[in-house]
Structure formats: C-alpha cells, structure tokens
C-alpha cells in the first residue's frame, strides 16, 4: 500500500499527457478564434478602405465640377491659399 503523496510513474505520466492534450486543444481553439477574428477585421478594413476611396473620388469630382463652373473664384481661392501658406512658411 503506497500512501505517498507522489503518484506512481504511470499515473504521473498519464496526468501529464492529459494536461498536454488539454493545452494543445486550448491553443488550437485560440488559434482558430484568432484566425476568424483576423478574417473579419480584414474584411471590414477592406470595405472601409473602398468606401473611403469612393468618398475621396466623389469629393475630387465635386471639386473639379466647382472649378469648371467658377474658374475665376477657383483662381482667387488658390491665390489666397498660396499667400497664406507663404506667410506661414516664412515664419
């Protein structure tokens, strides 16, 4: 009768195997969750980038239309912006 707190060799080995399998399963599940989350984030970022590109293109188109519609005002605004920038750069 073994009343020692230490387990026999087979019991300890079996316990370590079970713990290793449990850890491996946990890592596998965590990796799957991370892969899924990364996939979702990639999709969302791709959609957001496409929406931003469409918005930028729309803004560019509107600016071009405004310049064609009011060329003198556009030239005056560009001149004024140039003056302001040159004053800021000199400082």
Domain ranges of the chain: 9-90
Look up residue 47 and give its two tokens. 């959609």
CA distances from 25 to 17, 34, 53, 55 (A): 12, 14, 42, 45
| Contact by Cβ (8 Å): 2, 8 | yes
Please write the tens of the pLDDT for every residue from 32-67: 999 999 999 999 999 999 999 999 999 999 999 999
Q: Read off φ and ψ for residue 37, nearest 5 degrees.
A: -65, -40
How crowded is residue 38: how many other Cβ atoms within 10 Å of its Cβ? 10
| pTM confidence score | 0.51
91: three-class secondary structure by DSSP: coil
Confidence tier at 79 by pLDDT (50, 70, 90): very high
């Amino acid at each position: 009768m073994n009343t020692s707190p230490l387990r026999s060799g087979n019991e300890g080995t079996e316990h370590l195997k079970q713990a290793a399998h449990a850890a491996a399963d946990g890592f596998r599940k965590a990796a799957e969750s991370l892969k899924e989350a990364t996939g979702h984030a990639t999709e969302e970022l791709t959609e957001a980038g496409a929406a931003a590109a469409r918005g930028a293109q729309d803004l560019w188109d509107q600016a071009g239309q405004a310049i064609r519609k009011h060329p003198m005002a556009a030239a005056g605004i560009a001149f004024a912006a140039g003056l302001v920038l040159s004053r800021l750069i000199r400082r």
